[in-house]
């Protein structure tokens, strides 16, 4: 298809560059591009309202652009924002977030909040991931080339914490072919893959807690930044004594809240995560938290949540969101506050709009830099029920 020369106006959701032809037609350009860059774009798809393209050549690079520090960066696509310093990218991410909120919430949004979005930077922008996925082929670690099923030999990954990145070869030498979750402990550097029964240690020093987690269940890969996230959530809920932690995982928020003296009902669909949460609660002597294995897409669990009678809820749903959540929370008459953790802002806006239209108010927004060098972002929305 056509090659066009355009200037990138701004970045939007998923890190795509937005450009326009003289006619006004929109072109969405796949990352990595940066604002104000003049680029030659190869169009690969023509939609009714916009074109999609990939960069063929950068004619005028941004002054913040740099060479990607990872030798796999041009093939992998896992850290496309590595082409600029993370401090600059975080500012761009804030603008991407503002654009997404403005587009998707429209009249439901109090625009004064946009200037008050609080940034929580990461203290590490490389070597921060203690959990990831790899492909193993012939006892060697690989990744899939961006936009392809081709396997590429992985010698190291700069996003992976040092013990994990440097230990992949040894770990993969004992693994069969396939795609697997691998993880490492921030405490002692031990590494494991999902086929092992190993428990890895993850500490939350502020709460005098060390969790023991199997590698295959979900936990926040950026464990150092997760500590900041947990502290934020606990602080937002410090005035409430009964809290329902929905989509609770293995108790990332529930256990610190229980340590702080609050009663918590932790609801999670994954039974392995529930078992891990219960095991840690027993080891830590935290009897104020109760774990329940329930699928929150069904009606029955909500009766149990209602009987618990929470004053506040934590919502940390999967990336796909939960479109009917507003009906279920409305069923909980005494809930005054929600802390909503989102890893996909567009889906969250779709779900949150119904709350805002039903009398909830968006009080605070935090952009937590959980995924440096990537377009992904973790956003915490704090909502309060009007008149409470």
**What percent of the chain stands above pLDDT 70?**
99
Mean pLDDT over all residues of the chain? 95
Domain ranges of the chain: 3-65, 130-198+211-220
Residue 1 has pLDDT above 70, yes or no: no
Q: What is the mean pLDDT of residues 112-117?
A: 93
Instruction: Decide which of 300 and 234 is more confident.
Output: 234
**What percent of the chain stands above pLDDT 90?**
86
**How confident is residue 320, by pLDDT bands cut at 50, 70 and 90?**
confident
**pLDDT confidence of residue 386:** 72
Q: For the residues of 166-218, what is the DSSP string, one character each?
A: HHHHHHHTTS-SEEEEEEE-TTT--EEETTS---EEEEEGGGTEEEEE-TTS-
Residue 138 has pLDDT above 60, yes or no: yes
> What is the C-alpha to C-alpha distance for residues 244 and 44, in angstroms, rounded to an integer?
47
**Which residues, in sequence order, are bridge partners of residue 342?**
379
**How confident is residue 96, by pLDDT bands cut at 50, 70 and 90?**
very high
Torsion of CA 381, 384, 385, 388, to 10 degrees: 170
* CATH 2.40.50.140 is the classification of domain 3-65: yes
pLDDT (tens digit per residue) in 71-82: 898 889 899 999
Distance of CA 112 to the CA centre of its chain: 25
Residue 310 has pLDDT above 90, yes or no: yes
**pLDDT confidence of residue 388:** 53
The Cα-based distances of 205 to 45, 224, 226 in angstroms read 50, 11, 12
> What is the C-alpha to C-alpha distance for residues 336 and 2, in angstroms, rounded to an integer?
54
**How confident is residue 110, by pLDDT bands cut at 50, 70 and 90?**
confident
**How confident is residue 268, by pLDDT bands cut at 50, 70 and 90?**
very high
pLDDT (tens digit per residue) in 9-60: 999 999 999 999 999 999 999 999 999 999 999 999 999 899 999 999 999 9
**pLDDT confidence of residue 387:** 61
């Amino acid at each position: 298809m056509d090659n066009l020369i355009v200037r990138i106006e701004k970045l939007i959701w998923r890190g795509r560059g937005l450009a326009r032809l003289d006619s006004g037609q929109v072109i969405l350009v796949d990352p990595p591009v940066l604002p104000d860059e003049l680029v030659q774009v190869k169009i690969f798809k023509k939609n009714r309202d916009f074109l999609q393209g990939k960069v063929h050549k950068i004619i005028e690079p941004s002054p913040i652009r740099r060479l990607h520090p990872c030798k796999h960066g041009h093939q992998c696509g896992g850290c496309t924002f590595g082409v600029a310093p993370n401090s600059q990218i975080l500012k761009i991410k804030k603008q991407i977030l503002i654009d997404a909120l403005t587009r998707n919430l429209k009249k439901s949004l109090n625009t004064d909040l946009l200037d008050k979005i609080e940034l929580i930077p990461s203290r590490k922008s490389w070597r921060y991931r203690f959990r990831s996925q790899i492909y193993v082929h012939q006892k060697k670690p690989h990744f899939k080339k961006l936009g392809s099923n081709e396997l590429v030999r992985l010698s190291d990954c700069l996003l992976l914490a040092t013990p994990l990145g440097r230990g992949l070869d040894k770990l993969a030498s004992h693994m069969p072919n396939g795609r697997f979750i691998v993880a490492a402990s921030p405490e002692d550097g031990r590494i494991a893959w999902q086929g092992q029964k190993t428990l890895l240690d993850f500490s939350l020093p502020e709460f005098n807690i060390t969790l023991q987690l199997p590698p295959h269940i979900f936990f926040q890969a950026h464990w150092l930044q997760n500590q900041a996230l947990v502290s934020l959530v606990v602080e937002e809920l410090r005035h409430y004594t009964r809290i329902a932690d929905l989509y609770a995982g293995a108790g990332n928020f529930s256990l610190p809240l229980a340590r702080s003296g609050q009663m918590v009902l932790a609801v999670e669909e994954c039974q392995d995560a529930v078992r891990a949460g219960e095991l840690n609660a027993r080891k830590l002597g935290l009897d104020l938290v109760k774990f329940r294995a329930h699928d929150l897409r069904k009606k029955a669990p909500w009766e149990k949540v209602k009987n618990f009678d929470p004053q506040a809820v934590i919502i940390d749903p999967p990336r796909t969101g939960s479109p009917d959540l507003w009906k279920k929370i409305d069923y909980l008459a005494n809930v005054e506050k929600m802390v909503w953790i989102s890893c996909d802002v567009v889906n969250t806006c779709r779900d949150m709009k119904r709350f805002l239209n039903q009398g909830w108010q968006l009080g605070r927004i935090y952009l937590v830099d959980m995924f440096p060098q990537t377009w992904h972002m973790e956003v915490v929305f704090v909502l309060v029920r009007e008149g409470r």
